[in-house]
Structure 1
Amino acid sequence: MISTKSKLFEPVKIGAWDLRTRTAMAPMTRCFADDDTGVVGEDVVEYYRKRAADGIGLIITEGTVISPRAKGNPGVPGLYTQEQVESWKKVTEAVHREGGTIIAQIWHVGRVSHHELIQGHKPQAPSAIRAEGKVSRFGKPFDEPEAMTQADIQEVIGQYAQAAKNAIEAGFDGVEIHGAHGYLIDQFNSDVSNKRTDRYGGDLKQRLTFMKEVTRAVIDAIGADRTLIRFSALKIDNPEYMWEDPEAAIRTFVEAFQEVGATMIHPSTMNFTQVLADGKTMHQLVRKYWDGVIVGVGDLDPETAEQALVEGTIDVAAFGRPLIANPDYLHRVKNGEDLVEYDAKKHLRTLV
């Protein structure tokens, strides 16, 4: 059993944030905002308040879109209107009253969307290549996107920066840039979805240009000490995807983050203990090249998280589905109590 004296429960300062524990609530799409306005209500306020009251160190919100065209699921919240900003203030105030720290995950889904969700527009993407599959919780196939122009790219970079500023206005302690899982930033990063011949295309190092420009713009807007960025090999439209040379790819990503002055990163995988190369997991490979803050995620349990923290592989351990099912997750772990099993049929429909 995890002791209350374990590393998992020790306070830590990362960036601008003084965290009560080395734990994080991983960002998870919930779809409980008003579908027309992207405004969050009292149920969302209470949802995050409960996790803060449990002592979670860092709460990372569900993906929150940066523009009407960034949307890829019904019922997702936004951070691009004043009404949305005002609604999030109730969430951040509730979390802060409980002594918690909360950041907004800012999100653009790119090509994995449908015109009915984005006011009749085609989805935006680096290249006009349709993703395989259907829109989650909507059921219709992904639309063929349109390739973004240079002007489109600059507009979207500006939208990321403005969403970060809006997050601070809403009382958030910072943001996480969602650069993972086959969404827009990751579509630029991937050779599957990016066939551009301008400076946003080419080899991996060159394809990371859009991610670097977004990250630099957000850092310029709110500071590196309030900016976390998430990246992955995993794609929602291709869960089996993996870089051809994982270690070389990770080294290239790390060099890109260092170049733009990022200090906190969130490597994402579905399996934290999966060995990728040289006998090392994704997070161990990242640590080989990165001496900044690492938030670890990937179906973690407390024991695996504790070991990774002790080894110094990660600085903060993020938990996902167990926190959906157990608002008092840390209390249960500390006291050796049984956890409620995550049940998609139940927990996708309700906020506990």
Structure 2
Amino acid sequence: MNQIKTKLFEPVTIGAWDLKTRTAMAPMTRSFADDKTGVVNDLTVEYYRKRAQDGIGLIITEGVVISPRAKGNPGVPGLYTQEQINGWKKVTEAVHAESGTIIAQIWHVGRASHHEIAGGLPPQAPSPFAAEGKVSRFGKPFDIPEEMTETDIAEVVNQYAQAAKNAMEAGFDGVEIHGAHGYLIDQFNSDTSNKRTDRYGGDLKQRLTFMKEVLTAVIDTVGVDRTLIRFSALKIDQPSYMWEDPESAIQTFIEAFKETGVKMIHPSTMEFTKPIARGLTMHELVRRHWDGVIFGVGGLDAETAEDALKKGTIDVAAIGRPLIANPDYLARIKQDKKLVDYEAKKHLIQLV
């Protein structure tokens, strides 16, 4: 093995998971499920099996929606019907047969949708303001969402908990809550999409109330050692968005995480090595205030991942697009073989 990558290939126990390496497969929307039923197919089974076979420590699935109304792209899978659960069982069984570990990323897109996708109903959101832009792989502008009532909020919190329960029935080893990128949880977190005046609105600390309720409900369902939360400043409809004071915002998020008892967090950025405040990157700022488990993501390659792991900035390195193009990513890194370049048009239409 190339000695420069010794940390990357180190086995580690994270939460309830005994991982073969300090690597994760980052969640990446593929839209290969049946569009009407949200059920995954045999190609999806093989897609995840190959990454487990390669030795990826933790596979985090593509976003899996928690209800029909949570859907924001054609062809995304669900985890709210028995048929969907049964479909995912084939995936988890294949991954476990390769001694792999896999968790489901449970997802509600909120206002980042259109009524033709979201079960004929308007999208749900904290406030009735449309996202900017168009629905990915659908092409129509985001709809004006319906402002959620407190009853709606309680129902969606229960849907997250039920999806987590369904994930365990499907054989997953845990869940990641998608709280990033301008989707529903992040819409509550953000001052640009949350204009509420009740207990779910206000300053950042107060806006994190919904996120904390979801986290608490999921932890109560599957356990803290099987729960991961992803968060970010980045938003799909505001790619240049950044908190006014990044370190203060991160501190506020971390205080909220500590309140719920969550132990594993997944800060998300597009550029892992880019400083965002005080000359520090997002993950360096998070590490300054958080001594629990950190998953790193954001255009990582083997060298930057190894360096961050050695420094202790992160505990697990999540790899994204290179894993789509290279099912044998880790084998290639070990052997110092050239990686296949990711090509969007090619790799969006092929399950390699």
TM-score, normalization by structure 1: 0.99
Task: Answer with 153-162 or 1-10: which moved more.
Answer: 1-10
Counterpart for residue 174 of structure 1:
174
Q: Which residue matches 1:290?
A: 290
Alignment check: 8 A CA contact 2:5 2:306 kept: no
Amino acid at match of 2:273: T
| 2:150 is equivalent to residue 126 of structure 1 | no
SS in 2 for 1:116: coil
Deviations 1:41-64 (A, max 9, x none): 100000000000000000000000
User: 1 CA distance for matches of 2:164 and 2:140?
Assistant: 31
Which residue of structure 2 lines up, in the alignment, with residue 154 of structure 1?
154
Q: Deviations over 1:114-166 (max 9, x none)?
A: 00001210000000001110000000000000100000000000000000000
Corresponding residue for 2:333?
Answer: 333
Cα drift, residue 277 of structure 1: 1.3
Residues 165-213 of structure 1: CA distance to partner in whole angstroms, max 9, x if unpaired?
A: 0000000000000000000000000000000000000000000000000
Distance of 1:198 and 1:84 partners within structure 2 = 36
Look up the match of 1:203: 203
Which SS does the other structure have where 1:117 is aligned? coil
Offset at residue 3 of structure 1 (A) = 2.7
Q: Which residue of 2 aligns with 1:84?
A: 84
Secondary structure (helix, strand or coil) at the match of 2:191 reads coil
Provide the rounded CA distance (Å) in 1 between the counterparts of 2:343 and 2:30. Answer: 14
Match of 1:61 in 2: 61
Report the counterpart of residue 193 of structure 2 in structure 1.
193
CA distance in 1 between counterparts of 2:198 and 2:21 reads 44
Deviation, 1:2, is 4.6
Q: Is 2:101 the partner of 1:101? A: yes
Contact 1:3–1:334, Cα closer than 8 Å, also in 2: no
In 1, the alpha carbon distance for the partners of 2:264 and 2:236 equals 23
Where does the alignment leave 5 or more consecutive residues of structure 1 unmatched?
Answer: none
**Superimposed CA distance per residue, residues 261-289 of structure 1 (whole angstroms, 9 cap, x where no aligned partner):** 00000000000011111221100100011
Q: What's the CA shift for 1:4? A: 7.4
CA distance, structure 2, for counterparts of residue 334 and residue 97 of structure 1: 23
Q: Runs of at least 4 residues of structure 1 off by over 2 A?
A: 1-5
Distance 1:302 1:230 in 2: 22
Q: Which amino acid aligns with 1:239?
A: P
- The match for 2:71 is 71
Deviation at 1:77, TM superposition (A): 0.2
- Contact 2:5/2:302 (8 A) holds in 1: no
* TM-score, L = length of structure 2: 0.99
The aligned amino acid for 1:268 is: S
- Which 5+ residue runs of structure 2 have no aligned equivalent? none
Aligned to 2:228: 228
CA distance in structure 2 between the partners assigned to 1:119 and 1:233 by the alignment: 29
Write the letter of the residue equivalent to 2:202: G
Deviations along 1:269-319, one digit per CA (max 9) or x if unpaired, are 000011111221100100011110000000001000000000000000000
Number of corresponding residues: 352
The CA RMSD measured in Å over matched residues stands at: 0.8
